[in-house]
Structure 1
Amino acid sequence: MTPPADAEAFVREAGWGGAAISPLAGDASFRRYFRVHAGGRSAVLMDAPPQHEDSRPFLAVADHLHALGFAAPRVLARDLDRGLILLEDFGDARMKEVVEADPARETLIYAAAIDLLRDLHRQPPGTLPPYYMAVYQREAGLFPDWYMPAVGLEPAPGYAAAWDEVLAPIADDRSATVLRDYHAENIMLLADGGLGLLDFQDALAGHPAYDLVSLLQDARRDVSPELEEAMLAHYGSVDRAAYAVLGAQRNAKILGIFTRLWKRDGKPRYLAYQPRVWAYLERDLAHPALAPVRAWFDANVPTGKRAAAWADRVA
């Protein structure tokens, strides 16, 4: 990745003159990240082109998390007109790679991530926008909109009605800060032993089970059923029906999003995750609370158009 043309001027104006700027990462959005080195210190440059990305929610949620005592990257400088933000550098110890390098630490690290969620859920969500039914439905709709055409299926009636029925008992719960992408690629292990949070700009006020699903049904790495159960028990009281419903909703959304990333955005690498996401979705659909949605899938998405449709794309 090449830094944006005005990156050098931006970091110089921020007091980082002469800094080296090197690629760090991109993600599923238009955002890109670079590491900035100068005089023995480092920071992270976020490039979020304003024509594609609105960085104001990121800044607002960062302030919200800081006010509650959680570790979001401190903002060192910003220029929203250019879409550039200089952030505190949390280092390279990302949860996913740390756990994969040392599987013996998996349970302990996941327990710490669950502890963070439990602490977060004890705090009010403040003025975050609500996670209401129309948002749930719009996300779930990514499955018929993008996934079904990609595997040669026609969208079928009854999908939204089935989701209305299963989501109705939980859609009005806005008691918790829902980060919405709380998983092993967005959690950093910090030098002080704490956990740093990334990619939280889409946070909403919603049901506390959502981020449990995001962490324990991780599209990007296998989380065994045994670890999932152990961590749900570690969290404490969990509404299992809500957990299954939100799991199914999130996984249907992800299947649609990853297909869209392939078809629209030219990012086929995300298709390798589809079989794993299907495995989570099948597990969620087995819960009695999902009966209407399960019936729709059984009637309209044949087995061969599910995980098997993507198996040859797994890297």
Structure 2
Amino acid sequence: MANANDNNVLPSIFYLTGIPGYEAAHCWISIPFCLLYLIAIVGNSTILHIIRTDPNLHEPMYYFLTMLSITDMGMSLSTLPTVLRIFWFNANEITFDACVTQMFFIHSLSLMESAVLLAMAFDRYVAICNPLRYATILTPRRIICAGLVLLLRSTALLLPLLIHLLWYPFCDSHELSHSFCLQLDMIRLACADTTFNSLYGLGLVIFFWGVDSLGIIMSYIFILRSVLGIASREERLKALNTCASHICAVLILYVPMIGLSMVHRFAKHSSPLVHIFMANIYLLVPPVLNPIIYSVKTKQIRRRILQLLEPQRCLSAFK
């Protein structure tokens, strides 16, 4: 690429931002970040290991949970390198190609997580409203096909947005606002008409998040209608309890996402720390809390984790 000083060409280097004003404390700030990344990676790895090794968990619900855990782990691993490089080594430079690559993984995995939650809502709908046909509707083959469709949906439509960045000149500051690359953050630095990226990005958000959230809401309307038709109060609570983990996962993803969108649109002139804080919550909290919630609320997974942590089993491992 050409030199970044040329006002009409694409720069080869961008500069990420840690926590402005707290550069001297970056090493200490890295401690909670490292803890969160560790919890996310170990937690989701544990979920994947338990589902893979326990034949009793080879069911549609746990296949979708596998997709969610893989997505969460990918989300953590996509931001971890640049975040820790800044906090540990004050290395805030990133090439344009690396920035766009990281941007692709962050945005596609975010869209994928929303799509998986929609699929999990459909899974709960079938399990509660049509339990006798549950195994015949959600066959392993159909689940694999659904996963591939969701993956294609989350990546293919995103590519034009990122490819279009190749044609933008960046003639002013090359300093980004976060310790990772986001599309909205990059296009604000372009000194060209960014209408396509702005409108296309907004359209993607409305399409993906709108369709997914509407699908989840409709699924739970049918679920509630079916549950309220059950005569026994205990059976109603038992049916709703199977949805508790999924409802928590939906709230964990959508509440920070809505908060971040509100900050970007209605608090543009607020402190940069607010934007940084909300962006980190949006990207870090779901991968950290999802495995914890499913470990606590799902009896089969909780039992397997307790078996893994059983003292006698641990002792026998060292014999």
TM-score normalized with structure 2 length = 0.25
| Structure richer in strand, relative to its length | 1
| Structure richer in helix, relative to its length | 2
* Structure number with larger C-alpha Rg: 2
Q: Considering Cα pairs closer than 8 Å and 6+ residues apart, tell me whether 1 or 2 has the greater RCO.
A: 2
